[in-house]
A and B are shown apart, each in its own frame.
Chain A
Amino acid sequence: MSAWRRPALAEPTDAVGPAAPSPAAPATPRDLDAFLASVERRAFRVAELALGEREDAFDAVQDAMVKLVRYRERPPAEWPPLFWSILRRQLTDRHRRNAVRRRVLGWIGRDDARDDDLLAAQPDPHEDPLRRQEDAEAWRALSRALQALPRRQRECFLLRELQGLDVAETARAMGCSEGSVKTHLSRAMSALRDKLGDWS
């Protein structure tokens, strides 16, 4: 299986800008603020990939944070699987709600597509435009390919491969057996290989 390991958790900081990857071994912060700071960006990107809408992704992460705070008395070691489990439920609920909304809007002939984060669309003057374009293309291709996957396969890929949870943690977060995780992941990888064939 993959040699991927859980990414090092970023240092809790209020500074904006790219989070510096830490070479230290990952450890769950003992402070809830630090823990949320370490996962909020990854959670946002996971939600964005799962939902395909930036605002929805932001709301899902915000709600997941509020819900996790209710479990602040739990041991810190339980926070990561708990947080990803809560976020997964948020994404599932919103995905279903959005599907119904799109269907209804489709019936009345309205397009629900939106992309209202204008700052995100602004080019960074310090970055190579060609590189930026390639990165944006790769991100969009990955997003499209993941959107086309069945929900459980998508969740499994996001948690296991991108977030780096191990099989047992992924199973806990998804509420299924470890065998199911392996099956979903295998199918997801096979489908992604077909959809992103030009990547390999």
Chain B
Amino acid sequence: MNRDEVEVAGKARAAFEHAVREIPVATANRLRLARRNALAHGAGRAASPRAARWGVPLAAAAALVLGLGWWQQSVAPDSAPVVARAARTPAAPVVPVVPSLPMLANDDEADLYDWLAEAPVATDARGDGAL
């Protein structure tokens, strides 16, 4: 800073200090009132500004995630493709159909069918789901 700049800065400071000292009475009163209002206003707001700043966005994000989850759960079963639903369905157990005994003509036939039910060929067929 050269000599001229130092002099200009000094005079600027002098003008500023004079203006600070000679502030109008009405303005000084308003500033005092503003200070009291600020302190009274801030007394009930002890929460940290960081929490206040992030609280609302975080709550909104959490609500959005919960809403999306609920929507997916309620909509997905109906709107999923048929093939996908079929893929999710567990395979139904294969139940062999055995003729009921009263329909058989006699005991010989009943023995025959008992034998057929226990035969290895029938067991293999049930395993393949052919019955």
Contacts and interface: CB of A to CB of B under 8 A. Distances in A.
Contacts, number: 137
Interface of A is mostly: helix
B23 A45 contact: yes
A136 to B, nearest CB: 9
Interface string B36-78: 0111011101101100100000000000000000000000000
A104 to B, nearest CB: 28
Nearest to B33: A62
Contacts of B105: none
B111 interface: no
B94 interface: no
Nearest to B42: A69
A69 B38 CA distance: 7
B42 to A, nearest CB: 3
A199 B17 contact: no
A4 B12 CA distance: 12
A15 B52 CA distance: 36
A117 B45 contact: no
A142 B16 contact: yes
Contacts of A69: 38-39, 41-43, 45
A178 B4 CA distance: 24
Contacts of B8: 189, 192-193, 196, 199-200
Contacts of B18: 135, 138-139
A111 interface: no
29 contacts: A2-B9, A16-B25, A18-B22, A40-B31, A40-B32, A40-B34, A41-B31, A45-B19, A49-B16, A54-B27, A58-B31, A62-B34, A65-B38, A66-B37, A69-B38, A69-B41, A69-B42, A73-B48, A119-B24, A119-B25, A120-B26, A142-B15, A162-B13, A186-B1, A192-B8, A197-B4, A199-B7, A200-B3, A200-B8
